[in-house]
Amino acid sequence: MRKFISSLLICLLIVASFAVAAQANSVIYVTYAQFGAVGDGVTCDFDAIIAAHAYANENNLPVRVNSGTFYIGESGRTAIIQTSTDWTGASFIIDNSVVTTAQGHHRFNVFHVTSHYDVFSLTGQVESLAANQENIGIALPQPSLVFAYNNDVRHYIRNGQGNGQAMSDFFIVDENGNVCPTTPITWVFEQITNIYARPIDNDTLTITGGHFTTIESANGWNSPYFARGLRIDRSNVVVDGVVHEVVDEIPGQLPPNSGFLTMSNAANLVVQNSAFAGRLGAREGTYDIQHWNTANVLFYNVTQTNCIHDWYRWGIHASNNTRNVTFDNVSLSRIDAHRSVNNLTIRNAEIGYGSLALIGRGDLLIENSTVRSWHFVTLRHDFGSTWDGDMVLRNSRFIPVGNDAVLINSANNGSINFGHPTTLPHNILIENVVIEDDHLNVVRNRLGGFLPFQFYRGPSVLGAMHAYGNDALYVTLLWDWLTNRSSPGITQEITLRNVEATGGRRVRLSKNVFRLRERFFRNVRVIRETTCPCAR
């Protein structure tokens, strides 16, 4: 009998151990409820959210939350995400109205996607770099993004003010030190004051779903920047189906926002099937999407949760130092590149009041798109109106909302040192573009120069190259000429192929009709073509 009982106990222990093992193996994802989250939209669930992601990161488990409304209030902490997360069906309330800036909590992102890999220094191992150099001369543990700086050379001095940014560059390097041809070295580094590498994650991390509502702060016009959103500092990430909106915005009391979605120091990023909020203007630039030091970025099927034509809601997107960026099938009030984008493609897009405000280099392709704004493209005059490469505008519509129609607006009279070379696009192709300017064929009463009014004389490819952008300001243009301001690099060739202005007027080279415009444009070759050879 004793022997039977002993055998039975042993069997029960074996069964129990298998049950425990089976239960452990059945945990295939983590939820917030497992760590005490209530999800009623009132109780602050942030502690549970942080704990759930910490456990998921430690055990390499995904997070799945498909129901509930999670309230996030005052906090000086961040939930670190290192595994795929599915928020489909869940909602989040981010309450900025309870956040005080005195403790610095306004700068803590709610979620931060990070890599398992650590950044490592290459300073002292690479002492100089040449433009288009194919190998950096050392091996790396794995493919990485390499960032190089020379603090003794300054670039991107904004509008001649301040000291600009240290000359910097970033590029993808494989384990053998070879520079990826799609991210070539741009600048000549005679010396390097700092250089480091960020390993590129091999696997793809996905962030899926989730409806986020930010209750806006009313900290006032002089508030510092808020950054209470989702930040990504990891390569190979897909953001799919995220929606963000903002409520309780009070004009004149809004803090600037650096972005609900911010991405930095990473490669191979996709944002798709998502919607973000155009922000009301604040004391400084304010955005809902911002990325910098990013390469190979795709925005696909991205829209805005409010009207893209609202003049007060242009704060949607901004970027700095990016490479190989594509916007496809998007509807946004503004696409903005401050300190250079290398290679930009915009297709199947509808762009509102904020327009396309860019500087950069490489290839700029805009096709199958509609822009309803003051200009089709604005080359930002505060950074020298520069595009060091070629530009193609194809199969698109331009609907001017102002009192003139300029396809490529620019302003650089040669008087400001921006710290970097400035040039207009080398070659411009404008093909199958319709300029809907019927409403401008009337006298526009606007004072300026010596004329109390002036007629709309037709659309133009380029602006006046003066910051005022007004033909009538003859005195300022004459002063520029008499003081012999230096000219930026000028476009070599413009090809107009089937460019139609519905108002019936001929497309001009420049809106600057001042006789001395030849100082800027005398060597530009303009080719006008149609698809029919007989009409040439």
Q: Is the torsion defined by CA of 465, 466, 471, 477 positive or negative?
A: negative
Range 105-108, long-range pairs (CB < 8 A, 24+ positions) = 105/74, 105/75, 105/76, 106/217, 106/219, 106/223, 106/224, 106/225, 106/226, 106/227, 106/228, 106/255, 107/224, 107/225, 107/226, 107/227, 108/75, 108/76, 108/77, 108/78, 108/227, 108/228
Torsion angle of C-alpha atoms 510, 499, 335, 233, degrees rounded to 10: -110
506-515: average pLDDT: 71
Lowest mean per-residue pLDDT among 227-241, 343-357, 441-455: 441-455
Lowest mean per-residue pLDDT among 105-114, 161-170, 177-186, 249-258: 249-258
Output the pLDDT for position 516. 40
Q: What is the mean pLDDT of the chain?
A: 86
> CB count, 10 Å around CB of 124?
8
pLDDT digits (tens, 9 = 90+) for 104-147: 888 999 999 999 999 999 999 999 999 999 999 999 999 999 99
pLDDT digits (tens, 9 = 90+) for 252-295: 888 889 999 999 999 999 999 999 999 988 778 899 999 999 99
Output the pLDDT for position 484. 52
Three-class HEC string of 15-34: HHHHHHHHHHHHCCCECCHH
36-60: average pLDDT: 97
Output the pLDDT for position 487. 64
More confident residue, 324 or 447: 324
Output the pLDDT for position 74. 87
In percent, the amount of the chain with pLDDT more than 90 equals 64
Residue pointed to by tokens 């070659």: 427
pLDDT digits (tens, 9 = 90+) for 462-478: 887 765 544 444 455 55
**CA 477, CA 491: separation in Å to the nearest integer?**
20
- pLDDT higher than 50, residue 4: no
- pLDDT higher than 80, residue 98: yes
Tokens of 63: 């997070």
Output the pLDDT for position 55. 98
> Predicted confidence band at 159 (pLDDT cuts at 50, 70, 90)?
confident
Which residues are within 8 A (CB) of 8 and not within 5 positions of it... i.e. 6 or more apart? none
- pLDDT higher than 70, residue 425: yes
pLDDT digits (tens, 9 = 90+) for 345-381: 999 999 999 999 999 999 999 999 999 999 999 999 8
Torsion angle of C-alpha atoms 46, 48, 50, 51, degrees rounded to 10: 160
Torsion angle of C-alpha atoms 304, 310, 311, 313, degrees rounded to 10: -40
> Predicted confidence band at 7 (pLDDT cuts at 50, 70, 90)?
very low
Quick check: 353 and 309 in contact, CB under 8 A? yes
pLDDT digits (tens, 9 = 90+) for 282-339: 778 899 999 999 999 999 999 999 999 998 888 899 999 999 999 999 999 999 998 8
More confident residue, 190 or 419: 190
Cα Rg of the chain, angstroms: 27
Burial code (b: 16+ CB inside 10 Å, e: under 16) for 457-471 equals: ebbbbbbbbbbebbb
